[in-house]
Chains A and B, each alone.
Chain A
Amino acid sequence: MPTVAPATIDDLAAAVRDTAPSSIAVRGGGSKRDWGGVAEVAELEVSTAALDRIVEHADGDFVVTVQAGARLADVQNVLGSKGQWLALDPPEAGATIGGIVATAASGPRRLRFGTPRDLLIGVTVVLADGTVARSGGKVVKNVAGYDLGKLFCGAFGTLGVIAQCTFRLHPSPRAIRCVSVPLDDPGDAVRSLRRSPFRPSAIEYDGTRLSIVVEAFESAADAQAEQIRALVGGEVSAAVPEQFGARPWRSGEVGLKATFRVGALSPALALARGFRLSAHAASGVLWLGGAVDAGVLDELRAGFAAYDGSVVVVAAPDGMKRKLDVWGPVRGVEVMRRIRDQFDPDRRMNRGVLDAV
């Protein structure tokens, strides 16, 4: 599979257009290459590795424009020097901006800041036929035209290559405090936290321990952490625990993402018994790792459906994935297929990855 790594958007468009390949695979940092359905071997691989510039950091406006191949960690370093950050914290090391957006990858702080769709304010994309288009802009508030950015979030590259993104930024947190408390069932604690006046950045549960992160002015962070400790117990520290927000699966295992209505944390955790897990406990998201076969997967799906949720296979060795229905039922899939048919009628992009649609 030949790979191109264009350094400009026009080159990227030209590469796609001029070779008119029958199938295209998009590659970012490769940190999530085992995510989604089993990718078919493509005629051309497009790498965003050379599209790694920070195009503009308008720090007074709290906005950054970056090319898709830029690594999140590098971007954060640059922004951090100005006391700002892009409020996304998926744990995959080496992840690029494009990959994070394409997979809608999220981390613990989604509780407070949301997922890529919530921070992306403008996008430039290259479609399968080389068409370059953009939507949105570089201002936070903007309702002109359809928001293509949202459609590309979580589309796993099937609608086109994300070439460049503009994000809204936040001030870097001044102080961080973490309240940690061991709990068998964090349901009640999380419920009372959600109803409390506190505004944690993250509430994570790893199967044994609930970690509540507050980020604020020093004094305010201390005060909140102390009050939270009074509410749920545990200990306060000035750093998050090791493995905070890490995905719970090991290589060779199946990794799942399960969602549920947020009030159903306890029953959702009960369904997940037997798996290693990492929960965005106040957001309705569970990451699971362990051994999974089709029967187990069906059972899980039925279980989470009762809480209006879904279960998708995130990561697994190809051999295992082939035996599983990776995406499961998708609500509104007919419309999604029509969208895909419009953007990529020949289905050239990332074939196999989002095979449900």
Chain B
Amino acid sequence: MSATTSALPGAENPGNVALDGLAREFVAALGPAAVVTDRVQLRTYECDGLTAYRCIPGLVVLPETAEQVGYVVRRCAQSSVPFVARGAGTGLSGGALPVATGVLIVLSRLTAVRNVSVDDERVVVEPGVVNLDVSRAVAADGYFYAPDPSSQQVCTIGGNVAENSGGAHCLKYGFTAHHVTGLEVVLPDGSVSRFGGLAPDPPGYDVVGALVGSEGTLGIVTEVTVRVVAVPERVETVLAGFRSMDDAGEAVSAIVAAGVLPAAVEMMDTLSIEAAESAVACGYPAGAQAVLIVELDGPAAEVSAELAEVEAICERAGAFEIRVARDADDRVAIWRGRKSAFAAMGRISRDYIVQDGVVPRTSLPQVLRDIALLSAESGIRVANVFHAGDGNLHPLVLFDSTRGETAAAEAVSERILELCIEHGGSITGEHGVGNDKKKHMGRMFTEVDLDVMQLVRCAFDPQSLCNPGKVFPTPRLCGERPGRRTGVHPVQAAGLGEVF
């Protein structure tokens, strides 16, 4: 149904003749319901889940088929008009931030599940299919799709592929990259290519591997083949309350050192517990300074041995309450608190920044102490929700923009990323670089590293039309050879880490 098109196409960019013409062409080819040109309507697309960056797109197109996507991209390429893909717009790095002089291609209408082949452990979907719908498609057969971002009921597989999204259960099962075996992609020139498929190990370069996580800069994915896995025989979810983050952190290290590989190890601090309680009344242990959620899954015999071990470890580490979910409902209740934690921050703070950084797991306690110190010094509250098993921190920096705290909050948030880099970690574990963190890329990588990554970009998108201005701090024209590195790696020179 339609985006009412009342204003004339291109009205937003009166000077942009190319967009003007494209709008007319798209209306003719895709119908008026697929093209948005009215200013108030365009503005609803001006940001994704990270509202700090906004830009009114020149034009929004909502294709319904892969062919239409190909057509739209082809016409953009021929007219040298930039374009950006968007799924559900839940991204937290401004990856789907539109370009004012470009076209935003929204994939939310490509929602067909094209093929379910449980016997091959594969499902083939269009990019607009919601993550959780993949699991729903195979649930009756006892299978599920493992990558489970907290936004799984809304984010799309296309967005997941672009961001290489992860989730709580990725500790054991791996990220999106480990579960995508085939892609159909509209390349930035509008041509369509397929990579991989139902079978493993396609010959040649692992282009699927390069595309997953490329944040929509190498083309628009129009079909995704994913691997689904059998639902484990037994799942045990342990909820443990601790009197300090240190104790909880110790429990995590001990679990890992014991050779147990849980499906998930999640940690929350008091502030995030408070927010989750007020959102969904999850009933976490009262008075806990930290809770740990440990989920074990697998063959029954294995899980029961591990469960005993995990309970003992938590107790030794000082857990004052340990609860094991009695049934599926109980488990859902435990997870509900964790999964709602981000969005629930709105209940305890007017504004907040969701940070996403990674540190080696063993550095977790130190980094958490540093963050606490930072918070105390700045007077800016920081709530911590994170994937403790793989050291992926999600500090939530809480502030009130109406009280002029924005700058201080941003400073805290940036300092946290610096801490991650100093500890040999990463500036993003799952939300991507997007628009938000491109300025930090230079602290993790050298110019040369980035130039070499740009070689990939140039192979796919020599015109730099596909989601331009994202990921890389300084766009480089294709065709120049990257400079050569001589001497010591600057990251090493700065004492920030060893070259590896």
> A residues touching B (Cβ–Cβ < 8 Å)?
9, 13, 17, 55-56, 58, 60-63, 65, 83, 104, 106, 114-115, 117-118, 122, 124-125, 127, 129-135, 137-148, 150-151, 153-155, 159, 164, 166, 170-172, 174, 191, 194-199, 216-217, 219-220, 223-224, 257, 259-264, 283-285, 307-310, 312, 327-328, 330-336, 338-343, 354, 356-357
Contact = CB atoms under 8 A, between A and B. Distances in A.
B387 interface: yes
Nearest to B458: A342
Interface stretch (B35-43, B376-384, B395-403, B423-431): B423-431
Given A220-B299, A335-B460, A151 B210 contact: yes
Contacts of B441: 144-145
B238 interface: no
A134 B499 contact: yes
B426 A142 contact: yes
The 8 closest A-B pairs by CB, nearest first: A150-B209, A197-B233, A263-B119, A171-B259, A223-B301, A133-B452, A60-B362, A220-B302
Contact of B500 (A115, A122, A330): A122
Contact of B485 (A55, A114, A132, A174): A132
Contact of B299 (A118, A198, A284, A332): A198
Contacts of B458: 342
B213 A195 contact: no
Given A9-B499, A197-B230, A262-B119, 20 more contacts: A104-B206, A131-B485, A133-B449, A138-B500, A142-B358, A143-B428, A148-B453, A151-B456, A153-B209, A154-B205, A155-B205, A191-B119, A195-B230, A199-B298, A261-B197, A310-B199, A310-B203, A336-B204, A356-B203, A357-B204
Contact of A137 (B300, B390, B425): B425
A307 B204 contact: no
A55 B207 contact: no
Contacts of A335: 187, 193, 195, 207, 459-460
B484 interface: yes
A197 B499 contact: no
B206 A144 contact: no
A340 B301 CA distance: 49
Most A-side CB within 10 Å, residue of B163, B259, B300: B259
A332 B193 contact: yes
6 contacts: A61-B360, A131-B452, A134-B449, A138-B424, A141-B429, A198-B299
B199 A261 contact: yes
B108 interface: no
A56 to B, nearest CB: 7
B484 A17 contact: yes
A262 B429 CA distance: 31
Interface string B435-450: 0010001001110111
Nearest to A283: B200
A215 to B, nearest CB: 10
A185 B455 CA distance: 47
B54 interface: no
Contacts of A224: 299, 301-302
A190 to B, nearest CB: 11
A40 B429 CA distance: 41
